[in-house]
A and B are shown apart, each in its own frame.
Chain A
Amino acid sequence: MRKLAFFLIAALVFSAAISVTASAKVNITFLNSKGEIQAQLEEIAALYSEIAKDVTVEVIPCPVGQSPFEKVVSMYASGNAPTIAMVDAGDVKKFQDKALNLTGERWVQDAIPGSLDMATLEDGTVVGFPFAVEGYGLIYNKKVLDKALGKSFDPSSIRTRKDLQALFEELKNAGVAPLVISPLDWSLGAHFFAIAYAAQSPDPKQVDAFLKDLRAGKVDLQQNSVVHGLLDTFDVMRAYNIDKDDPLSGTYDRGSYLLGTGEVAMWFMGNWAWPQLSELDPEGEYGFLPVPISDNPDDYGNSQIPVGATKFLILDREQSSEAEQQAAKDFLNWLVYDAKGQDMLVNKLSIIPAFKNITLEPRDPLAKSILQYVRAGKTLQFVLDLPADHWRMVGAFMQKYLGNAISRDELLDEIENYWKNVK
């Protein structure tokens, strides 16, 4: 009996000793939902763990095909919430019961106007850190275009649908496949069709009102010239698509491969494609063309590309200790204010930061192209406040349309119906 008691006491003392040493070192977890930067983030976490000696950062990947929302919900349910979670802009406010109030942080003052909108509650509380500004459009491979056209390609020469069609025709005649459309539901639903919402008006309030009316069933898409204009452009793109005969079989990797190796001149995608493109063609020159929606060069949307803060970081206040919360805040400040942190953010992760104080020029040509559009004020709203299953549902309708399984009338009916019944 005495032996047993001695053993128990020894075990107690030992475990207490362990927990004391452990508490000196703070472990924070970072859920990453941008799969393409997983390796780079891990390097940064290792670097930061060296710099801040008593903090270690562990990066947890969100599996491909699982939405960050699902992943975070299941991690909360298992009592294992990540200290920092990278979530989609539209999901930030759903975590307001669990997210730490960040209103007092220094970077709130330095954020680009509008970039905090998706993370600001009605009472003005900021609950999210804008992690990445992203944009999309028609990515062109300048080398291919220059060679096919026999002159240096000037992106500002394409200002209408007619211009775009003429360019496609010229490329086709020169023996280059004009473009590839990747038939991915998220790309077609959340990005391509969302241009039709954003281009309704330069005023974000009007766009919000348009979406509200859609929900209420008060919008007749058949009568909407912007929607028809966008789909007319889509018809042109379909006709010149390299996968025209089998439009639904493509994958994301096929798209980046075709553009990076110069087999096609253009690809409808966003700046997140740079890591893949740079593996194939690190020295290549790339840039964005807007998706034109009419033949009038002055129409809103013809010279603008959608840009917005798409990923936010939220800090857990429910299951993390004070020390962990503080360590997470410090890590964010390091990214925004430390020279090394800024360098990591911009150059290592190829991220366009949403902060005015970071003046580093990105090396990545897609990010550069987006910054040019931002500085020239030529941006559309990247509509992020869409229902959670919008990309999957509207994406599926667009796939049907792309594969010629439904007519445009049926497409518009399906989209209207979706909006009327959405939660």
Chain B
Amino acid sequence: MVSEKTPFGKVGTYLLFAGPTTFAFFTVVILPFLFGVYLTLTNWDGLSATYLFVGLKNYRMVFEDRAFWTSFGLTLKYVAYTVVLTNVIAFTLAYLLTSGIRGQNFLRAGFFVPNLIGGIVLGLIWRFVFSNVLVYVGKRFGWELFLRSWLAHPDKAFWALVIVSVWQSSGYMMVIYIAGLMGIPKDLVEAATIEGATGLQRLRYVILPLLTPFTTVCIFLSLQRGFIVYDLNKALTEGGPYKSTELVAMHVYEKAFLAQQYEIGQSEAFFLFAMIVGVTLAQVYLGKRLEVEQ
């Protein structure tokens, strides 16, 4: 139909296949993003018909917003715990479920299911579990740990968030790890066994290095998910008790729409975007360096 040979033909082919997607991506992602960046330099409040150009003033306000930095610190803590726990658990599950135990397909499906439930629903279910079911159990058996709702205590509410996030996303990461583990050539593992490597040595020197590309992807996904989590935060703790579990995405949202300081919220959002890009790029770069050739 169109020739691939001429430059015009190439553009034509591209437009034919990727044109609609490019157009959609450009109009609903790139343009609003650029416009959003422009808005951080103005004092638009989200509603009024006119606004002024104010330069970098909003970014100075970001640095002066103490609550933003508290939320940011809390988010870093949250990301650190969820990334480590999610990946350790996901890898362990994947390792066990590729070792040929009975009913492993059923178990794989079971661990994956939480990921199919949306964050809001999940948050509400776990809210009920933490503040009703566990309290009931605690009272029934006199377990000190569960006597009071976890969601009413700042530290425990934070751990409730971590537990639910890990529970939700480890199944997803597990699937990726399983794919990776199944792709490892059998001959390499067998060769290591014949040469006398123990199970742990095989894991440490053969399987983990070969799995690095998958680990990089899983860590990337869990990092990125952790930084932008909002739905679970909103539904499970609502930032409470007394705003002590307000993660940064929620803070940004409330700054823009609740405190009605739209321009500052928008600047904080852009700042957050820059941080996430920085962290994830660094992580992907480091991950690539760890990869080995077979």
Contact = CB atoms under 8 A, between A and B. Distances in A.
B149 interface: yes
Interface in B151-165: 151-154
A388 interface: yes
B234 to A, nearest CB: 7
Contacts of A396: 240, 242-243
A403 B242 contact: yes
A248 B240 contact: yes
A205 interface: no
Nearest to B131: A249
26 contacts: A65-B234, A65-B238, A67-B257, A67-B258, A70-B257, A73-B47, A95-B47, A97-B49, A185-B240, A245-B148, A246-B135, A247-B152, A248-B153, A248-B240, A248-B241, A249-B135, A251-B131, A388-B259, A389-B254, A392-B254, A396-B240, A400-B241, A403-B241, A405-B154, A423-B259, A423-B261
Contacts of A247: 152
A294 interface: no
Contacts of A403: 152, 241-242
B242 A389 contact: no
B260 interface: yes
A76 interface: yes
Interface in A365-391: 387-389
A399 B243 CA distance: 10
A300 interface: no
Given A97-B47, A246-B135, 17 more contacts: A65-B238, A67-B258, A183-B241, A245-B148, A247-B152, A248-B153, A248-B242, A249-B148, A388-B258, A388-B260, A389-B254, A396-B243, A397-B242, A399-B240, A399-B242, A400-B241, A405-B242
B46 interface: yes
List the 8 shortest-distance A-B pairs measured between CB atoms, nearest first: A249-B149, A248-B152, A249-B152, A389-B259, A396-B242, A399-B242, A70-B257, A246-B148
Interface in B239-262: 240-243, 254, 257-261
Interface of B: 46-49, 131, 135, 148-149, 151-154, 234, 238, 240-243, 254, 257-261
A423 B263 CA distance: 12
Contacts of A53: none
B145 to A, nearest CB: 13
> Which interface residue of B48, B49, B254, B260 has the most chain A CB atoms within 10 A?
B260
A77 B39 CA distance: 14
B257 A76 contact: no
Nearest to A97: B49
B260 A246 contact: no
Interface in A166-206: 183, 185
A392 B259 CA distance: 9
Contacts of B241: 183, 248, 399-400, 403
A94 interface: yes
Contacts of B242: 185, 248, 396-397, 399-400, 403, 405
Contacts of A249: 131, 135, 148-149, 151-152
A69 interface: yes
> Which interface residue of B49, B242, B243, B258 has the most chain A CB atoms within 10 A?
B242
Given A97-B48, A405-B242, A246 B258 contact: no
Contacts of A399: 240-242
B47 A76 contact: yes
Interface of B is mostly: loop
Contacts of A405: 154, 242
A185 B238 CA distance: 11
B32 to A, nearest CB: 11
B5 to A, nearest CB: 32
A51 B240 CA distance: 46
Contact of B149 (A73, A97, A246): A246
Interface string A400-413: 10010100000000
A69 B257 CA distance: 8
B140 to A, nearest CB: 16
A392 B148 CA distance: 24
Nearest to B149: A249
Interface in A89-138: 94-95, 97-98
Contacts of B153: 248
Nearest to B243: A396
B139 to A, nearest CB: 11
Nearest to B234: A65
Interface string A317-340: 000000000000000000000000
Contacts of A94: 47, 260
A7 to B, nearest CB: 23
B27 to A, nearest CB: 14
A70 to B, nearest CB: 4
Nearest to B257: A70
Contact of A423 (B46, B135, B243, B260): B260
A301 B238 CA distance: 33
B151 A392 contact: no
Contacts of B238: 65
Interface string A58-90: 000000010101100100110000000000000
Contacts of B258: 67, 70, 388-389, 392
Contacts of B151: 249
Contacts of B259: 387-389, 423
Contact of B257 (A73, A185, A248, A423): A73
A389 B260 CA distance: 8
A392 B255 CA distance: 11
B122 to A, nearest CB: 16
A228 to B, nearest CB: 22
Nearest to A403: B241
A405 B157 CA distance: 15
Contacts of A400: 241-242
B94 to A, nearest CB: 36
Contacts of B260: 69, 94, 388-389, 423
Nearest to B255: A389
Nearest to A422: B259
A247 B152 CA distance: 8
B103 to A, nearest CB: 39
Nearest to A423: B261
Contacts of B154: 405
